[in-house]
């Protein structure tokens, strides 16, 4: 059995769509980081997205852990031309497309970006590879809101529109187990 301890990176405080932009995380809440670190398994390997907000969070919560190489495949969804724009700005430009992107996730994608299905396929492959190479162990994965939702969707066996109703807060833990099948053990746990 492999347990994946999904941690959402620290907050960026951006009020826009942040996907592949490499923004820093605010890691000033040392008490929250300590509680999170204390909650996570001590013998687990740690991997993160290659974006600095995830890397820095991983370093802060597991400074002495065995680090696996950062993975670009664990990046947030690529918002393409919508990157760093607020919802109302995108809606003013492409109202039908942005509504379809959120209300009918699947193949709808921002111009120059990726669809939900593309994100899910990218993350599924990375997680499958990590699970194979770390079978029978715990693994802490520091990543992003959309990335964590893809794996929660997988574990719950639900449609994307249903998984979108779950809250995944910064510095929360969503624990997913693989033992021949996927299952969620904890969602959005705040230590």
Structure confidence at residue 171 as a pLDDT band (50, 70, 90) = very high
Phi-psi map region of 9: left, alpha, beta (phi>0 left; psi -120 to 50 alpha)? beta
Q: Does residue 64 register a pLDDT over 90?
A: no
Structure confidence at residue 134 as a pLDDT band (50, 70, 90) = confident
Task: Calculate helix-pair angle for 145-156, 116-133, nearest 10 degrees.
Answer: 80
**CATH number for the domain running over 2-79+114-189:** 3.40.50.1240
Looking at per-residue pLDDT, the higher value among 129 and 134 belongs to 129
Task: Calculate helix-pair angle for 30-39, 52-61, nearest 10 degrees.
Answer: 70
How confident is the model at residue 28, as a pLDDT? 97
Q: Does residue 65 register a pLDDT over 80?
A: no
How confident is the model at residue 152, as a pLDDT? 98
Task: Provide the residue count of the chain.
Answer: 191
Grouping H, G, I as helix, E, B as strand and the rest as coil, residue 132 is: helix
How confident is the model at residue 57, as a pLDDT? 98
How confident is the model at residue 146, as a pLDDT? 97
Tens digits of per-residue pLDDT, 72-127?
999 999 999 999 999 999 999 999 999 999 999 999 999 999 999 999 999 999 99
Structure confidence at residue 1 as a pLDDT band (50, 70, 90) = confident
% residues pLDDT > 70 (the chain) = 100
b/e per residue 66-76 (b: at least 16 CB within 10 A): ebbebbebbbb
**pTM exceeds cut of 0.75:** yes
**Domain spans of the chain, in order of start:** 2-79+114-189
How confident is the model at residue 136, as a pLDDT? 74
Structure confidence at residue 189 as a pLDDT band (50, 70, 90) = very high
Structure confidence at residue 135 as a pLDDT band (50, 70, 90) = confident
> DSSP characters for 58-121?
HHHH-TTS-BPPPBGGGSPP--GGGTT--HHHHHHH-HHHHHHHHHSTTT---TTS--HHHHHH
Tens digits of per-residue pLDDT, 22-54?
999 999 999 999 999 999 999 899 999 999 999
**What's the rounded Cα separation, in Å, for the pair 190 and 81?**
33
């Amino acid at each position: 059995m492999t347990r994946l301890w999904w941690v959402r990176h620290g907050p960026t405080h951006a009020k826009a769509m942040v996907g592949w932009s490499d923004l820093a995380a605010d890691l000033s809440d040392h008490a929250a980081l300590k509680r999170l670190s204390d909650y996570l398994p001590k013998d687990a390997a740690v991997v993160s997205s290659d974006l600095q907000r995830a890397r820095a969070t991983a370093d802060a919560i597991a400074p002495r852990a065995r680090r696996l190489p950062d993975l670009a495949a664990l990046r947030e969804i690529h918002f393409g031309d919508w990157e760093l724009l607020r919802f109302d700005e995108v809606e003013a430009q492409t109202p039908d497309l942005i509504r379809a992107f959120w209300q009918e996730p699947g193949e709808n994608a921002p111009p120059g970006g990726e669809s939900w299905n593309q994100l899910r396929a990218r993350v599924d492959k990375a997680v499958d590879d990590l699970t194979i190479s770390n079978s029978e162990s715990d693994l802490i994965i520091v990543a992003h809101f959309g990335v964590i939702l893809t794996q929660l969707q997988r574990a719950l066996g639900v449609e994307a529109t249903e998984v979108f109703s779950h809250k995944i807060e910064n510095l929360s833990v969503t624990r997913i187990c693989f033992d021949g099948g996927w299952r969620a053990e904890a969602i959005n746990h705040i230590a």
